[in-house]
Amino acid sequence: MTDTRHLIGLLLGTEEDWPAAFEKILRRLGPVPGAGGRSHSFDIERITIEPFDLRDRPRYHLVIDRLAYWYYHPREWLKKIALMDGVYLLNSPFTFQSMEKHAAYCAMMRLGLNVPDTVLVPYKNPVDNARYAYTSARYNQSFDLDAIAERIGYPLFMKPYDGGAWRGVSRIRNPEELHAAYDASGEMLMHLQKAIDYDVFARSLSIGAETMVMRFQPDQPMHLRYAVDHSFLSPAVGNDVVTIGRLVNAFFRWEFNSCETLIRGEEVYPIDYANACPDVALTSLHYYFPWAIKALVKWSVFALVTGRQPKLDLETDRFFAIADDEGASFPEKMAAYRRLADAYFESERYHDFCATRLPHLDEIVLDWVAGPDFDQLLVDTVRSVYPAHEHDQFIAHLRGLLGLWVRDESARLGGARQDGGGR
């Protein structure tokens, strides 16, 4: 049997938990059968940062990037390997240049989605550029912040246009708070956005063709934000949430992204749809962590074995044609968007691939999560994240949640295994 070897590169910042899990699972997976009797094997490496000649050929066939959103040397390397070498990237640096919230809001509004009313106001403080004083004196229009807020209506949110990790986000109830927040915004560029009084907050994590929709509790401390809840949305709302996430991802060619939606009644309001480096930490995802690792492994292997080609062009016209179809109702447009997104992610082929080529992966991951190796990762992760006096509490907390996952997953896989009781 001919063997094709693929090298996966991880471009990492400070994370240890999911990369270690990803490496372990990929190694346990072993060779995967491809078309024409070929066998595919996978090597994995953590990428180091060093000078590169622009004509060097990279050794990697696929790169998962968690670093380039703030570190520009690897970002430029990613652009080079995308443009010159066709390396498959999660995510492409070209598309995540649109990973400010702003571009995602624009795309979603253009596609007819229910983004709350949003206004972008100019910088509060002068921009650090010698030309600013002249330009602003000549061209900056004075504006009435109060009038904008009145028009949107209180309460509203003021938050950075590029956002992330709640930096600079405030909820504003009146003109005093409005001015205090704007004065404090300094060099940040801010959106004002109508506050949605929501019933439920759904956070979905998409990895390639898969999406996990989770009930999110933003007011809770980090380790309690994701609730384990399998049926918190009506089927129709759940379907809309998945469709919007896939749609935005397909539109921008994002393959590893998280999305936030606020739900009031049957209305779905997308508010945060662009996270170049979505949270996949064991300590925050807990019960959902094995799903995330499995989805990352499956999507990487699928892309490599099937020779999926990265697409740099966005083909926005195809999405806009649906948006502009005057004869179609909103549900019909959503169904059409979903078909387009599923076609981009080759959903059917992907699920068929997982069922036929990776039938043993579920068991491999279950075995691993139920075993001592994973427990060690859990303990090491807690020790690296929390202060010493909280270690016991968080180790017990995570063991409980992962033990629950092991029980649920064992039942799902047909009760073939019983939880050993170790956790």
Ligand X SMILES: Nc1ncnc2c1ncn2[C@@H]1O[C@H](COP(=O)(O)OP(=O)(O)O)[C@@H](O)[C@H]1O
Which residues make up the interface to ligand X (CB under 6 A)?
116, 157, 159, 163-167, 169, 193-196, 218, 260, 262, 271-272
| Contact call for residue 100 and Mg ion (CB under 5 A) | no
Whole-number minimum distance, CB 295 to ligand X, in Å? Answer: 22
65 binds, among Mg ion, ligand X, none (CB under 5 to 8 A by kind): none
Q: Which does 218 bind (CB under 5 to 8 A by kind): ligand X, Mg ion, none?
A: ligand X
Q: Give the one entry of ligand X, Mg ion, none that residue 196 binds, where binding means its C-beta sits below a cut-off of 5 to 8 angstroms depending on kind.
A: ligand X
259 to 318, contacts with Mg ion by CB under 5 A? Answer: 260, 272
Q: How far is the CB of 301 from ligand X (least distance, A)?
A: 31
Pairing of strands 62-65, 3-11: parallel
Q: Minimum distance from CB of 168 to ligand X (Å)?
A: 8
Nearer to ligand X, 34 or 160 (CB): 160
> Least distance in Å: CB of 215 to ligand X?
13
Select from ligand X, Mg ion, none the partner in contact with residue 259, using the beta carbon and a kind-dependent cut-off of 5 to 8 Å: none
- Give the length of the chain: 423
Query: SS in 3 state form for the chain?
Result: CCEEEEEEEEECCCCCHHHHHHHHHHHHHCCEECHHHCEEEEEEEECCCCCCCCCCCCCCCEEEECCCCCCHHHHHHHHHHHHHHCCEEECCHHHHCCCCHHHHHHHHHHCCCCCCCEEEECCCCCCCCCCHHHHHHHHCCCCCHHHHHHHHCCCEEEEECCCCCCCCCEEECCHHHHHHHHHHHCCCCEEEEECCCCCEEEEEEEECCEEEEEEECCCCCHHHCEECCCCCCCHHHHHHHHHHHHHHHHHHCCCEEEEEEEEECCEEEEEECCCCCCCCCHHHHHHHHHHHHHHHHHHHHHHHHCCCCCCCCCCHHHHHHHHCCCCCCHHHHHHHHHHHHHHHCCHHHHHHHHHHHCCCHHHHHHHHHHCHHHHHHHHHHHHHHCCHHHHHHHHHHHHHHHHHHHHHHHHHCCCCCCCCCCC
Beta bridge partners of 44: 8
Minimum separation from the CB atom of position 165 to ligand X (A): 5
Which residue's CB is nearer to ligand X, number 114 or number 239?
114
Shortest reach from residue 218's CB to ligand X, in Å: 4
Which CB sits closer to ligand X, 9 or 278?
278
Enumerate residues 231-260 that contact Mg ion by CB under 5 A: 260
Question: Please, which residue, 259 or 406, has the CB nearer to ligand X?
Answer: 259
| Residue 371 interacting partner from ligand X, Mg ion, none (CB closer than 5 to 8 Å by kind) | none
| 66 vs 159 by CB, closer to ligand X | 159
Number of residues that bind Mg ion (CB under 5 A): 2
Q: CB under 5 to 8 A by kind: which of Mg ion, ligand X, none does 195 bind?
A: ligand X
Least distance from Mg ion to the Cβ atom of residue 224, Å: 16
Q: Which residue is nearest to ligand X (CB)?
A: 163
**CB of 117: closest distance to ligand X in angstroms?**
9
> Considering beta carbons, is residue 148 or 328 the nearer one to ligand X?
148
Q: Which residues contact Mg ion (rule: CB under 5 A)?
A: 260, 272
